[in-house]
């Protein structure tokens, strides 16, 4: 993990410095920004492997920064937020954030979540590509396409699709998907997975596409099916 680049964005200098010290101790190269405009500039120039992004930023808020970046790249984003309602958290996840940490937070926990998210980035082991019906996934290139059209998946969406496509028709509980896709217990907020699955379904166009579907198995979880609605 040493040498990975992390951009930390927060308008509070003490928070930025605390996070920077913890991440630097873990061997990351850390870039810092204190507003949304600077965050976008550094994200484009330094091309970080992950971004820790506060929501309450001057100039351009964190949600808009996340929306803009997600249109440009699939860089993993961990949101920092003082907003603790499910709606606020789901809004960030729906925009393409991979994880969230609520304030006040433990810098040790944040560092652990950074490690967990980076572990989900594509490696060099396993099959290079899987084709199921009209869906093609290239794990080494971290690319997916449906009927020849590329899918713009976030890292979490790609990981969920990888988990499901490798074992079609197997039912995965929310807890199993949280553990496999996110790498740790999400403190009971299992609706996080529901949002990622909803976004993945939308991108797979499951309402109109008959070759692939992600089904809800009520009381059990989710499974991917091929060739049936």
Domains parsed from the chain with CATH numbers: 5-119 (3.40.50.2300), 129-226 (1.10.10.10)
Predicted confidence pLDDT, tens digits, the chain (229 residues): 457 899 999 999 999 999 999 999 888 999 999 999 999 999 999 899 999 999 889 989 988 999 899 888 888 999 888 766 667 667 777 777 888 888 888 888 898 888 888 876 654 445 678 887 778 888 877 888 888 888 888 888 888 998 888 888 889 888 888 877 776 544 444 577 888 888 898 888 766 655 778 888 988 889 988 776 5
Give the pLDDT of residue 122.
57
Q: What angle do CA 123, 23, 186 make, to 5 degrees?
A: 70
Query: In whole angstroms, what is the distance from residue 104 CA to residue 162 CA?
Result: 33
Query: In whole angstroms, what is the distance from residue 167 CA to residue 190 CA?
Result: 21
Evaluate the CA torsion angle 65, 67, 73, 79 in order and state its sign. Answer: positive
Cis bond before residue 96 (omega within 30° of 0): no
Query: In whole angstroms, what is the distance from residue 95 CA to residue 54 CA?
Result: 14
- The residue among 74, 85, 152 whose CA lies nearest residue 117 is 74
Give the pLDDT of residue 184.
57
Give the pLDDT of residue 77.
92
Burial (0-12, 13-18, 19+ Cβ within 10 Å), 153: buried
Query: In whole angstroms, what is the distance from residue 71 CA to residue 93 CA?
Result: 14
Query: In whole angstroms, what is the distance from residue 53 CA to residue 80 CA?
Result: 6
- The residue among 23, 76, 22 whose CA lies nearest residue 53 is 76
- The residue among 155, 154, 147 whose CA lies nearest residue 212 is 147
Residues 6+ apart with CB under 8 A from 17: none
Query: In whole angstroms, what is the distance from residue 160 CA to residue 2 CA?
Result: 26
Helices and strands (DSSP H and E) totals, the chain: 8, 11
Burial (0-12, 13-18, 19+ Cβ within 10 Å), 192: buried
Gyration radius (Cα) of the chain, Å: 18
Place of tokens 């950074």: 114
Q: Return phi, psi of residue 7, to 5°.
A: -100, 125
């Amino acid at each position: 993990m040493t040498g990975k680049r992390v951009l930390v964005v927060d308008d509070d200098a003490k928070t930025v410095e605390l996070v920077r010290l913890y991440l630097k101790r873990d061997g990351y190269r850390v870039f810092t920004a204190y507003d949304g405009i600077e965050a976008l500039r550094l994200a484009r120039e330094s091309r970080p492997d992950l971004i820790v992004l506060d929501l309450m930023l001057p100039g351009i808020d964190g949600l808009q920064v996340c929306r803009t970046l997600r249109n440009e790249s699939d860089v993993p984003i961990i949101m920092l937020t003082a907003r603790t309602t499910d709606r606020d958290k789901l809004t960030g996840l729906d925009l393409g954030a991979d994880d969230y940490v609520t304030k006040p937070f433990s810098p040790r926990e944040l560092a652990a979540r950074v490690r967990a998210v980076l572990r989900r980035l594509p490696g060099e082991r396993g099959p290079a590509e899987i084709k199921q019906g009209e869906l093609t996934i290239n794990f080494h290139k971290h690319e997916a396409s449906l009927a020849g059209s590329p899918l713009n998946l976030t890292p979490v969406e790609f990981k969920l699709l990888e988990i499901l496509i490798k074992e079609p028709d197997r039912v995965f509980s929310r807890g199993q998907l949280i553990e496999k896709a996110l790498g740790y217990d999400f403190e009971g907020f299992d609706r996080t997975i529901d949002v990622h699955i909803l976004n993945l379904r939308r991108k797979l166009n499951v309402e109109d596409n008959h070759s692939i579907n992600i089904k809800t198995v009520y009381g059990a979880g989710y499974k991917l099916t091929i060739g049936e609605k």
